[in-house]
Amino acid sequence: MKEFGLISRYFQQVAYERTDTLVGIGDDGAVTRVPAGQVLVTTTDTMVAGRHFLAATPADALAHKAIAVNLSDLAAMGAQPAWLNLSLSIPSFDEHWLQQFSTAFHELTKFYQVQLIGGDTVQGPLAITITAQGFVPEDAFLTRKTAKSGDWILVTGELGSAGGGLMKLQQGSGFDTSCHLIARHLYPEPQVLAGTCARRLASSAIDISDGLLQDLQHILNASSVGAHLDLDKLPIRPELIEWFGDEKKARLFSLTSGDDYQLLMTVSEEQRTQLESHLKSYDIPFVVIGKCTGALGKIDSVLNGKKFALNDLPSFGYQHFAD
Ligand code: ADP
Ligand code: MG
């Protein structure tokens, strides 16, 4: 099958059509309308086999993750997702794979009410690139740059689960989605609702893709603030503690493990109550894990109520295997 046949068989029949899409798949470009008073937010992420996902990952999980990581970036900007472009590099025409991938892809577009409006299809090593676009009122987008010393630090959902799931897969667990950690690794849930809730309330936001510490550091650097973290507050699951057999190990792991796709936000003392009640009204789980400080770019922490030096962390994830 040639490129055109493939596109029309698997991608042209989109599952979700938006009235603000004037031209979708099938022309040289898509034409879309951004509501008056709103601005367009655009983000791109590429996932390469063997580098961003295990080669054996089921096609439906890849479709899910490729969309989720992009919507997670939109969420961190406070944007409402609207459109996707899909650039697909596939080694061969594998009907079963394409069927599974496209079915999951279209299903998720319906769930998030986003329309696939274009893309590219080439033969090559397996790689999936998505460009996602969404919009937000022009005075309400969130960035990493505007946290202030004294602001509270919040995180949604749970940390470390996806990283724990990856460890399990690497150690030979099958793709068993009844295991909570593996499910969190394969099917991350972008915090779209939390992102729109945080508009005009949070002072800054970022999504956690590379681990809490690393992504918090981006906010600190961009905002010229420091942070104090209470590691006893980190939202970790009993399954993660059980996997490590040790709560402290699980807590420290959740600081640096990736792929959680939760939102990390800062909020001023004045706006905190309103942001919290807004999140609660949508049943979005979150916890306050610390506070911004004036110590530029520095993070200090307490664990079990005692000062804890984060410098000792780096190789932690590997120490587990060395045990
Ligand atoms: P062009 O040669 O003008 O770049 P293509 O032949 O690559 O166009 O694609 C034809 C149409 O199909 C375009 O509208 C393009 O956006 C769309 N398209 C191509 N690949 C995909 C894909 N994987 N998913 C969605 N749309 C796609
Ligand atoms: Mg092309």
pTM for the structure as a whole: 0.94
Phi, psi for 300 (deg, rounded to 5) = -115, 165
Q: Is 119 in the pocket of ligand 1 (CB under 6 A)?
A: yes
Residue 228: both structure tokens together:
């104090």
Tell me what pLDDT residue 320 has.
Answer: 31
Nearest 10 degrees: CA dihedral of 24, 88, 59, 17? Answer: -10
Distance between CA 105 and CA 70 in Å, rounded? 13
Alpha carbon of 119 to ligand 2 centroid (Å) = 8
pLDDT digits (tens, 9 = 90+) for 148-189: 999 999 999 999 999 999 999 999 999 999 999 999 999 999
Cα of 99 vs centre of ligand 1, distance in Å, is 18
289 CA → ligand 2 middle, Å: 46
Cα 130 to ligand 1 centroid, rounded to whole Å: 13
How far away, in angstroms, is 120 Cα from ligand 1 center?
Answer: 5
Total length of the chain: 323
Residues 76-100 have pLDDT tens digits of 999 999 999 999 999 999 999 999 9
Q: Is the minimum distance from the CB of 11 to ligand 1 under 6 angstroms?
A: yes
Residues 6+ apart with CB under 8 A from 303: 231, 232, 248, 251
- Is-contact 192 81, C-beta < 8 A? yes
Atom in ligand 1 nearest the alpha carbon of residue 116 = 25
Helices (DSSP H) in 35-175: which residue ranges? 59-76, 95-112, 161-170
Ligand 1 pocket, mutate which of 2, 6, 7 (most atoms under 8 A from CB): 7
How confident is the model at residue 316, as a pLDDT?
37
The answer, yes or no, to whether any atom of ligand 1 lies below 6 A from the CB of 86, is yes
Ligand nearest to the CA of 25: 1
Residue nearest to atom 21 of ligand 1 (CA): 119
Distance from Cα 118 to the centre of ligand 2, integer Å: 10
Ligand 1 touching residue 219 (CB < 6 A):
no
The per-residue pLDDT for 215 is 96
| Ligand 1 neighbour 27 (Cβ under 6 A) | yes
- Which ligand neighbours the alpha carbon of 88 most closely? 1
Question: Buried b vs exposed e over 35-68: b needs ≥16 C-beta within 10 Å?
Answer: eeebbebebebebebeebbeeebebbbbbbbbbb
Write down the pLDDT at residue 3. 79
Residue 28 in contact with ligand 1 by CB distance below 6 A: yes
What DSSP line would sit under 50-88, residue for residue?
Answer: TTTB-TT--HHHHHHHHHHHHHHHHHHTTPEEEEEEEEE
Q: Are strands 31-32 and 38-48 parallel, antiparallel or unpaired?
A: unpaired
- Average pLDDT of each block of 10 consecutive residues along the chain (323 residues)? 85 96 97 98 96 93 98 98 98 96 98 98 97 98 98 98 97 95 97 98 97 96 98 98 97 96 98 98 98 96 94 49 38
